[in-house]
Amino acid sequence: MSTQPVGIHDLSFATTHYFLDHAVLAERLGVDRDKFYLGIGQEKMSVAAADEDIVTLAAAAAKPILERHGTEGIRTVLLATETGVDQSKAAALYLHSLIGLPNTARVVELKQACYGGTAGLAFAAGLIARDPSERVLVIAADIAKYELDTPGEPTQGAAAVAMLISANPAIVTLDPQQGLYSADIMDFWRPNYRSEAIVDGKTSVNAYQKAAQEAWTDYRRRGGRELTEFAAFCYHQPFTKMAYKAHKHLLESQGFTADAADIDAAIKLTTLYNRTVGNSYTASLYLGLAALLDHADDLTGKPLAFLSYGSGAVAEFFSGTVEPGYREHIRTAANQAAIDSREPIDYAHYRALHEAASPSDGAYHATAEETRRPYRLAAISGHKRIYEAR
Ligand code: CAA
């Protein structure tokens, strides 16, 4: 096994063509908009157009990485999602024709609710430790969908994050310790016959906090850093207030007083993108990292904490250190542009998209041309999904 540092060499994200403002949703649901803006900490959420899905998002996120680094050494592509488009074929295989992945690669889809991307990161680190000349493309892509007119509805969203994992990374080197926790909990799930998740909201919030604490305990048992060492904490953010709740819980569970200003200092910058993108499930934690890197003063040499949670449930607490010169490699302008270039969607259109069912008769179905993103789902024909670059 190599002892070379391994971590995130590049990170790029993409989100959808549309967004819905939570003020529109609040009016529709007859609640005070501050319940969303302040209570759950969400102002907007990304909404997938008729011709967008996790493949188009994943392609848009990964393309800039391949443009910058090429494909040499990429022998594994791991796409994590809980919004898969096929029960058999890995979604990342569609990326071969869209963005030109190498044929000499293993391409696999990973699933464990919002935790899948972190599993990808851990598997990638293991592969690179075995052969540091290899690089792994990890993509986390999801479209969060709950039933209309339910408490889960304001916690939808969508995004993809692509990360190039390598030896001697340019952005974040991962520490070797990981704290793990898994348990059989029915807090959030989606049976194969449903397009919307089922959730027990309050149970899920409590399960998340317990899992975070347990994963932290395991991380410390494995020799991880002290809680006071970290410059910031990136949490999975189903809604941004959840990061605040989880951090408060973690601090108090370890005997610290959870001062609001200290929590803000540890969390706030990580929430800037999620607040307007919404829950992107597997991508959410890494959107938090992107927001932190894009907005913090110099983080060079500073340790960061990460808490990944996927309902059902698996949690992982891990850490890493920000590399000198990272600012030359992050994609602040492109990330902001991905968010700013979205178009507002009105409630009727949002609802129509939400209710639209995928055709299942095998006939040719052209998809309405809506997105202005680089890739689109052009049609479904003969039970095949047909994608095109725009
Ligand atoms: N002004 C300011 N704040 C207000 C307000 C107002 N006018 N009205 C209400 N609030 C506050 C409430 O006091 C509450 O704050 P606290 O949590 O600090 O007490 C907050 O707004 C939310 O109010 P409710 O608890 O009444 O909200 P709700 O019951 O309608 O829904 C929810 C909240 C249960 C999280 C729901 O959105 C949900 O089910 N979401 C989906 C599940 C989820 O995201 N779970 C998170 C953990 S699981 C996970 O992380 C995996 C994953 O991605 C799904």
Q: Is the CB of 244 under 6 A from ligand 1?
A: no
Q: Which H/E stretch holds residue 246?
A: helix 240-253
Phi, psi of 261 (to 5 degrees): -65, -40
159 within 8 A of 14, measured Cβ to Cβ: yes
Cα 35 to its chain centre, rounded Å, is: 24
Mean pLDDT of the chain: 97
Query: pLDDT tens for residues 285-307?
Result: 999 999 999 999 999 999 999 99
Shortest-distance atom of ligand 1 to CA 154: 37
Whose CA is closest to 342, among 13, 11, 48? 48
Q: Is the pLDDT of residue 1 over 70?
A: no
Instruction: Say what the pTM is.
Output: 0.98
Q: Which residue is closest in CA terms to ligand 1's atom 9?
A: 35
Q: Which residue is closest in CA terms to ligand 1's atom 48?
A: 204
> Among residues 9, 17, 22, 236, which one is catalytic?
236
Cis ω for the linkage preceding 260 (within 30 of 0): no
What's residue 101's pLDDT? 96
pLDDT band at 213 (very low <50, low <70, confident <90, very high): very high
Query: pLDDT tens for residues 16-43?
Result: 999 999 999 999 999 999 999 999 999 9
Q: DSSP secondary-structure letter at 38?
A: I
- Return d(Cα 350, Cα 331) in angstroms, integer: 29
56 within 8 A of 160, measured Cβ to Cβ: no
Region 76-105 average pLDDT: 97
Q: Is the CB of 236 under 6 A from ligand 1?
A: yes
Residues 6+ positions from 262 with CB-CB distance below 8 Å: 251
Q: Is the CB of 32 under 6 A from ligand 1?
A: yes
Q: DSSP secondary-structure letter at 204?
A: H
Q: Is the CB of 249 under 6 A from ligand 1?
A: no
Q: Among this protein's residues, is 236 annotated catalytic?
A: yes
What's residue 15's pLDDT? 98
Other C-beta atoms closer than 10 Å to the C-beta of 98 total: 19
Share of the chain above pLDDT 70, in %: 99
Q: Is the CB of 19 under 6 A from ligand 1?
A: no
Q: Which residue is closest in CA terms to ligand 1's atom 14?
A: 39
Q: Best of 29, 36, 112, 204 to mutate for ligand 1, by most ligand atoms within 8 A of CB?
A: 204
Q: Is the CB of 83 under 6 A from ligand 1?
A: no
> Among residues 52, 82, 153, 214, which one is catalytic?
82
134 within 8 A of 77, measured Cβ to Cβ: no
CA angle 282, 18, 21 (to 5 degrees): 90
Classify burial at 37, counting beta carbons within 10 Å of its beta carbon; exposed 0-12, middle 13-18, buried 19 or more: middle
Hey, what amino acid is at 148? L
Cα 291 to its chain centre, rounded Å, is: 12
Q: Which residue is closest in CA terms to ligand 1's atom 51?
A: 311
Residues 6+ positions from 78 with CB-CB distance below 8 Å: 92, 108, 109, 110, 120, 123, 124, 136, 137, 138, 139
Residue carrying the six token digits 């939808």: 156
Q: Is the CB of 152 under 6 A from ligand 1?
A: yes
What's residue 3's pLDDT? 81
358: tokens are 């995928």
What's residue 301's pLDDT? 98
Distance 135 CA to ligand 1 centre (A): 39
- Return d(Cα 5, Cα 132) in angstroms, integer: 9
Query: pLDDT tens for residues 257-280?
Result: 989 999 999 999 999 999 999 999
